[in-house]
Chain A
Amino acid sequence: MARLKFEGIEIEATEDVDVLSALLQAGANVAFSCRIGVCQSCMLRSVKGDVPKEAQTGLRDSQISENFFLACQCVPSNDIEIERPYTTQHFLEGIVSSVDDMADGMRRLRIDAELAYRAGQYVTLWVDGQTGHRCSLASLPEANSPLEFHVKPVAGDRFSDWVTRDVNIGDTVRLQGPVGATFYVPGHTQQPIILAGTGSGLPAIYGILRDALQNAHQGDIHFLAEAQDEKDLYLRSLLSELDDGQNRFKFHHIVRPDLAEGPGIYQGAMADFIEDEFGTLAGWRSFICGDPPAVERIKKEIFLAGASLNEIHSDPYYQIGNPPGHIPSMSDSAS
């Protein structure tokens, strides 16, 4: 008999009963619709314990590697600990190891922590009991190298005040995460790739680019950064540093006409740029990170340009989780 743990409840699942039925029976608030393993609305994640392969049919490689599964198709033979896919109650401590200014008014924060993650995922950083901020990881998970975050200062924002003014080296922060299934999965090395980002998603996209390069991806890689203001141009220098002269990727900043001009800068709309530069995107793999409305729009543009839905990777938008110390209850639902 398998034991299931989910948001503070523990259930003994009787044989042949799927996880969705067991959780619903126990009164948990879990979404579902088709119950035949197709709509994926019942997707959950195992944070401890294997899930049967059949429960991952139709999921993306990135989701499979993060132990996502379809609750309606999952009849477990061993104990599992379950969380919703894009929130987690896993917290760990980190120590601020450096903080400095980057180009274009951005701030870089480095934190030492024993975090297992993939470039492109994000964590929520809690700098005190209440101030949590979702931050994408711009670093690669290498041994003994700190986590790196790029923060855009915003007037009047608690977290941003902390990063620009109050932070001290040696400060302790709490990290909640990592979560997200938008990251590079090795394979199909000849496939052309689009990495598109806006605002807070730019560091994630930069991390995914580094990951693809490190994995010696062979197909064309295009980095499309949509800039709302000057600060969103900050990656230019980092990207030139990454360029080893072998033309392994191209970067483009998509800007409003009055914002900036120069090489690598396209003035106009993302959709027009895609059409001018690529024509069709049939066969391309794409990764999209950033501010939710922009991500939705760009996904649509990339899809309408011919990319297959299965090849478009981006995370749904979830609210920041509860602060450390919060005891989750079944009525806290992911939204």
Chain B
Amino acid sequence: MASLYERLGGSQSVDKAVDIFYRKVIMDDRVSSFFDGIDMLEQAQKQKAFLTVVMGGPNVYTGKDMREGHKHLVARGLNDSHVDAIIELLSATLTELGVGEAEVKEVADLANSVRSDVLNR
């Protein structure tokens, strides 16, 4: 079966998802402080890569990349509760885009599977 990424229409639909997802993230007090003081457009592009991967698009992230990329955030207090919040916002984004429950769960599980790498455990 084609991935959710392909079925939703590839790169352009991810753009739409990033708009919705990023808006949720920066308005959410639980996680927004992690996004302060960095170039929003550069950051959005990273989110796009993240969404591409968790929606089943091409993936070459290694556990090592995930660890390196989040080290400075872990030092600033990034923990399980923040990962939970991000996965919740991601699920809400997909639901808003009309993605079915079962598939939203699939994406959430995939995002969850990198939790220990992200948190450098």
Which residues does chain B contribute within 8 Å of A35, judged by CB atoms? 60
Residue B26 CB within 8 A of the other chain: yes
| Least CB separation from A311: chain B residue | B19
Which residues does chain A contribute within 8 Å of B39, judged by CB atoms? 296, 316-317
B18 x A296 contact (CB < 8 A): no
Q: How far is the CA of A310 from the CA of B45 in the complex (A)?
A: 10
Within 8 A of A (CB), among B16-48: 18-19, 22-23, 26-27, 37, 39-42, 44-46, 48
Question: Beta-carbon contacts of B56-85 to A below 8 Å, as 1s and 0s?
Answer: 011111000100010000000000000000
Q: How far is the CA of A128 from the CA of B39 in the complex (A)?
A: 32
Given A299-B40, A316-B39, decide whether A40 and B19 contact each other with a Cβ distance below 8 A.
Answer: no
How many residues of chain B are within 8 Å of chain A by beta carbon?
Answer: 27
Within 8 A of B (CB), among A83-110: none
Question: Beta-carbon contacts of A270-304 to B below 8 Å, as 1s and 0s?
Answer: 00000000000000000000000000100110011
B19 x A309 contact (CB < 8 A): yes
Residue A113 CB within 8 A of the other chain: no
Which of B40, B49, B61 meets A296, CB within 8 Å? B40
Residue B52 CB within 8 A of the other chain: yes
Within 8 A of B (CB), among A171-185: none
Residue B11 CB within 8 A of the other chain: yes
Question: Beta-carbon contacts of A44-87 to B below 8 Å, as 1s and 0s?
Answer: 00000000000001100000000000000000000000000000
Residue B117 CB within 8 A of the other chain: no
Which residues does chain A contribute within 8 Å of B106, judged by CB atoms? none
A308 x B42 contact (CB < 8 A): no
Question: Beta-carbon contacts of A15-43 to B below 8 Å, as 1s and 0s?
Answer: 00000000000000000011110111100
Q: How far is the CA of A316 from the CA of B41 in the complex (A)?
A: 8
Q: How far is the CA of A73 from the CA of B61 in the complex (A)?
A: 16
Which residues does chain B contribute within 8 Å of A304, judged by CB atoms? 23, 26-27
Given A34-B60, A38-B52, decide whether A300 and B45 contact each other with a Cβ distance below 8 A.
Answer: no
Which residues does chain B contribute within 8 Å of A57, judged by CB atoms? 11
B18 x A309 contact (CB < 8 A): yes
Which of B18, B41, B46 meets A312, CB within 8 Å? B41
Which of B27, B42, B52, B69 meets A40, CB within 8 Å? B42
Q: How far is the CA of A303 from the CA of B45 in the complex (A)?
A: 14
Q: How far is the CA of A195 from the CA of B15 in the complex (A)?
A: 23
Q: How far is the CA of A308 from the CA of B40 in the complex (A)?
A: 12
- Chain B contact residues, CB within 8 Å of chain A: 11, 15, 18-19, 22-23, 26-27, 37, 39-42, 44-46, 48-49, 52-53, 57-61, 65, 69
Known contacts A36-B58, A303-B40, A309-B19; can you find 20 more A-B pairs with CB under 8 A? A33-B65, A34-B49, A34-B61, A36-B60, A38-B45, A38-B49, A39-B45, A39-B49, A40-B42, A57-B11, A296-B39, A303-B22, A304-B26, A308-B19, A309-B41, A309-B44, A312-B41, A314-B41, A316-B41, A317-B39
- Chain A contact residues, CB within 8 Å of chain B: 33-36, 38-41, 57-58, 296, 299-300, 303-304, 308-310, 312, 314, 316-317
Cross-chain pairs A/B with CB under 8 angstroms, 24 sampled = A33-B49, A34-B60, A34-B61, A36-B57, A36-B60, A38-B45, A38-B48, A39-B49, A41-B42, A41-B45, A57-B11, A296-B39, A299-B40, A300-B26, A300-B40, A303-B22, A303-B26, A303-B40, A304-B23, A309-B40, A309-B44, A310-B15, A316-B42, A317-B39
